[in-house]
Amino acid sequence: MEVLGRHLLVELFSCAQEILDDLEKIEALMKEAARLSGATIVESVFHRFQPHGISGVVVIAESHLAIHTWPEHGYAAVDFFTCGADVDYWAAHDFLKKAFMAGDSEVQELLRGGERDAAGRLAPKSSS
């Protein structure tokens, strides 16, 4: 079985606080990130918390892009999950890192689904 999806877990640090607390801007930037990645946008839902912070998701035909912000800490957690081989989530990452004026980022890339070995590691693709 091939890998079913790829998941990028992104932490963005030292971001512009005013951007992280602007619901309309966050939604527009997340949709642009989806477009730049080559994904097909289905719909989006975003919510602003009081006194600050935003959570939202852009549902794409290939899965989703999600975000939660902590403006008071200049921090955003972003997930890019895709099951489409043609989606370039690294393009979305690079765009958002620049758009949020992040000073730094940490990224974990996970392969989702697929066959596992006895230790739980993704097994090499068989040549059958």
Per-residue pLDDT reduced to its tens digit, 1-32:
577 888 999 999 999 999 999 999 999 999 99
User: What is the pTM for the complete model shown?
Assistant: 0.86
Q: Which of 63, 64, 93, 128 is catalytic?
A: 63
Which residue, 37, 20, 23, is CA-closest to 93?
Answer: 37
Catalytic residue among 83, 93, 105, 127: 83
Domain boundaries, the chain: 5-110
Structure confidence at residue 115 (pLDDT): 66
Q: Which of 7, 14, 55, 68 is catalytic?
A: 68
Q: Is 83 a catalytic residue?
A: yes
Rounded to 10°, the helix 23-37/89-99 angle is 150
Q: Is 15 a catalytic residue?
A: no
The whole-angstrom distance between residue 4's C-alpha and the CA centroid of its chain comes to: 17
What CATH number is given for 5-110 in this structure? 3.60.90.10
Verify whether residue 128 is a known catalytic residue: no
pLDDT digits (tens, 9 = 90+) for 80-127: 999 867 899 899 999 999 999 999 999 999 888 866 666 666 555 554
Average pLDDT over residues 30-48: 97
